Structure 1
Amino acid sequence: MRPPQVCSLASQASTVAAWSTVTVNTASRTSCRLTASFPPRAAWTALRTPALGRSYATQHQRQPQSSSSSSSASSSSSSASRRRSVTPFNDDGHVPWSELSGGEKTARAAQQTFNLGMVVVGVVLTGGVCYFLFTEVFSPNSKVSSFNRAVDRIKADHRITDLLGDSRKIIAHGEETANKWRRARPIASTERTDSQGEHLVMQFHVEGPRAEGMAYLHLLRRPGQSEFVYQYFYVDVPGHDRIYLEKSVGSAPSDKKGTLFGIKWA
């Protein structure tokens, strides 16, 4: 063993350093070599102490990890065993079907059946509303469409505008009600079906800057036809002759007035 290595080993521990100092002062270089070949037990203890400390620390570091993993596994198992039972009111679908009991499967099936029923009811109601809007508002043969076409024809007829006033200021509305919004007033109409086909009879008010009047129309859709045709369409303005916009032979009411029991009838 070389002397520099022996000296370096002796310098790593405080006890070895003290022993080497006494040896250098009292002995020669040969005696240092001989004594260095047999280091005392304190030097080996000082060298082995850090390794033992590191191994002890490593064991202590591993123990918490294993204990934490075991505690997490136990907590997960306990949480799985403590989960709340599935009912039709609290089921959110997070629990797999395979982990449900028989009663819980029945509860989930009942909830899904109820949800499906609500979807079906919503679809039926939506279809009914759409059908009503189409037949009553958007269809060419609906009451609203017939009313709008009649108002447009009234505003386009110069005979009526001469009596009522400017066509841009003519207003058409239904029967008088407590509602001040004129467009919300109901339009008096009657629908019936007989051997001739489908009948639509309607009347409404027309107002202009100069005068007011009443419009009457009768529409008929015969079997096999897709659209209504006018049987009569006229406007009465008080103090003036009746103005016909449409008149079918034998279908329009007479504009002659008769007297019966002293009362004039139209």
Structure 2
Amino acid sequence: MSTTGLQGRSVVVTGAGSGIGRATALHFAREGARVLVADLDRKGADETVEAIGAEGGTARAVVGDLSDQRVADQVVATAVESFGGLDVLVNNAGVMDRMSALGETEDAEWERVIGVNLTAPFILTRAALPHLLATGRGAIVFSASEAALRGSAAGAAYTASKHGVVGLTKSLAVMYRSRGIRTNAIAPGGTATQIRVDARPDAEGPAALAPYLGLAGKVAEAEEQAAAIVFLASDAASNINGAVLPVDNGWSAV
């Protein structure tokens, strides 16, 4: 018998058109949750909805740039209108930087990575909070990164964005714990997804970080990260709040 308590709950998963996000959306649906799939890629989002439906689950999709307040509002409104409220928000969508050291990071790279990885979850969480508070037991889970725990897993922009995600996680946990909301994050190590690193040819990052990246260990499957996300959102984690859980086969312990 499942102890997750997720049956019938309304869940938003961002970046759910592929990778960790898709695996997470499917895992929630298998636990009986109703899932709002949010992604920039319409084809991927529709494929995730179809996969959930093929297994007998319930899902809707909203496509757009989550750093746009109008899109964030649409995501929340669609979940609330379709499923009668909002219980869980998973801020998973993210992009990599070009492994650039700070001195070689251009404005466009910085703004894109910070916009997707930090500003978008801030905007969406702000839009979702009134509905999560209304449940009295809302749960928020962020996908941070091994780069949120150290300075040797990515370039300056990605590292800064994921450290910011940890700050948001802990701030939310403190500010809203008395009102029934739990906020946690996972910190994935290397995971088999479609995200690719388009390193600058002249970037200092690959050479500087190579000795540390060599300690990463085995590459995880997306489903392994999804299982940790669903656990943190579930009733099985009812007294876990403000935690950043490494899902990295011990990389963070090296």
TM over 0.5: no
| TM-score, L = length of structure 1 | 0.22
| TM-score, L = length of structure 2 | 0.23
Which structure has more strand as a fraction of its residues?
1
